Amino acid sequence: MTEFLGIAGLFVLVAGLAISIRGICVEFHRFRGLRAYAGRGCQGRAWKRAFPEATADDIRTFLGLFTGAFIMRRRRGLTFAPADSVLAVYRSCYPRWSGDQCELERFVWNCRNCYGVDVEPIWRDGITLGELFDVTRRPK
């Protein structure tokens, strides 16, 4: 019995170590992938140029939903521009071999919950943050 517990304990230790290493690799990839966005300055001007009628709070709220879905700090929101592809951000977060945390689904749900807008019918691979923001601004 003791020998079985020793082998089972070793298996649990190895499995836990493998899962931890995988998690560290995913986080490293995520950090490296998001560096391109974090390295540029505030994109507030680009948002105001694209949506002059939108208030700063409108833009921050939308970007807060996006960063919240991707489990990022809210202050990171203005590093994303209206022309940024949602899937490009997603792919910079996750290597193809890793699982995700349902960020895209959460973002779609956030848009539906906050704005009463279902963005699924217009979703396509190259959809940008600006296009989605525009949809949330249209009268219902």
Q: Which residues of the chain have pLDDT under 70?
A: 1-33, 95-101, 139-140
- 88, 95, 96, 129 from 92: Cα distances, Å: 6, 7, 10, 15
Instruction: Return the domain boundaries, the chain.
Output: 2-137
In angstroms, how far apart are the furthest CA atoms of the chain?
72
CA distance 92 to 28: 11
Give the pLDDT score at 5: 57
Give the pLDDT score at 133: 96
The β-bridge partners of 121 are: none
- 22, 45, 104 from 127: Cα distances, Å: 30, 20, 12
